[in-house]
Amino acid sequence: MNVRDLVLGSYDKFKKTSKKIASVLLKNPELFLTKNAQELGEITETSAASIIRFCKLLNFKGLKDFQLQLAQDLAIKNQPKDEVDTFVAQNDSPEIIMQKLNLGLTDNFDKIASQLDHQALKQAVNLINSAQAIYLEGVAASSFAAKDLFYKFIRVGRRVYYNDDLHLALERSVYASKDDVMICFSYSGKTTELLLAAEQAKQNGTPIIAVTRNTKSPLSELADVILALPDNEQLLRVGAVYSLFSEMFISSLLYLSSIVPEFDQIDQKMKNTQQITEKLKEGSDDGD
């Protein structure tokens, strides 16, 4: 049930202070997205404590939890049916969009941390650490997570492959072996080019780690390990937001988890890569 319905359904039972808060909320719900408890207490002529109690009366843990639900309600209200998915409304100010984004991403990361299969994560890390080579696949927005992981693994001396050219990436997949691992980033799990690479890897006996939404898809059927993302963004959307940050979260998680056993060696490797890249900066300074 949305916040407006909760308030209307409980309004007659509210005491005087809660009714004052409810009246302001019903007239101007956007105010409650961007203000803290102290500010809302002043606006409603109550107090910060009264605002928190009001949220709990509606069965929310606190103000942040209440604001997250309200942000989702307002986005749905302003989004025409069968239109492109966007969590913002046409009249949202940058301040409101910032608050919605902050609340949404916080909730998104909390969902990943609480829902991610820990056994699958351990299995993925073991596959990465035992692999002779790591093949990374990602198309469009999902390529950012793949490319970021590629750069990180390069710096610590891992044998890793990634290519923006989809034809070259597909050709490279022919050489993946059972001793390697392929990591595929695809929120939809339906991207044709990526599926072709995954199918080739499957034929070769290469273990496949899929970073994809928590829904059955062609990619999930090919994968040996699935790191499931929250299914909280439609495929038809104004732009990849939650899905992009979810994939980047998993990308960083895989990287950090896989390098822990090598910390002593990695320190020197990082210094070596820094030394050579510093020469590029020195050359740039000389040219100014």
| Sheet with strand 208-213: strands edge to edge | 160-161, 134-138, 181-185, 208-213, 225-229
Burial 37-49 (b: 16+ CB within 10 A, else e): beebbeebebeee
CATH superfamily of 117-267: Glucose-6-phosphate isomerase like protein; domain 1 (3.40.50.10490)
Residues of the chain with CATH 1.10.10.10: 3-80
Instruction: Give me the pLDDT at residue 69, please.
Output: 87
Ranges in the chain annotated CATH 3.40.50.10490: 117-267
Report the relative pairing of strands 208-213 and 160-161 from DSSP bridges.
Answer: unpaired
According to DSSP H, which parts of 78-216 are helical? 94-115, 118-130, 142-155, 166-173, 192-204
Identify how many contiguous H helices and E strands the chain contains and give both numbers.
14, 5
Q: What percent of the chain has pLDDT over 70?
A: 86
pLDDT of residue 83: 40
Using one digit for the tens of pLDDT, what is the confidence trace for 165-222? 989 999 999 999 999 999 999 999 999 999 999 999 999 999 999 999 877 899 999 9
pLDDT digits (tens, 9 = 90+) for 67-85: 988 887 877 655 443 343 4
Yes or no: domain 3-80 corresponds to CATH 1.10.220.150: no
Give residue 282's pLDDT: 67
- The residue among 248 and 157 whose pLDDT is bigger is 248
pLDDT value at 86 more than 70: no
Place of tokens 């049930």: 1
Query: How is residue 56 written in tokens?
Result: 């709990």
Q: How confident is the model at residue 96 (pLDDT cuts 50, 70, 90)?
A: confident
Pair of tokens at residue 255: 């990287």
Gap between the Cα atoms of 233 and 41, Å rounded:
34
Model confidence pLDDT, tens digit, residues 121-162: 999 999 999 999 999 999 988 999 999 999 999 988 899 999
Whose CA is closest to 44, among 59, 63, 60? 63
Beta partners for 237? 85
Which tokens belong to 158? Answer: 């891992």
Phi, psi values for residue 133, rounded to 5°: -145, 150
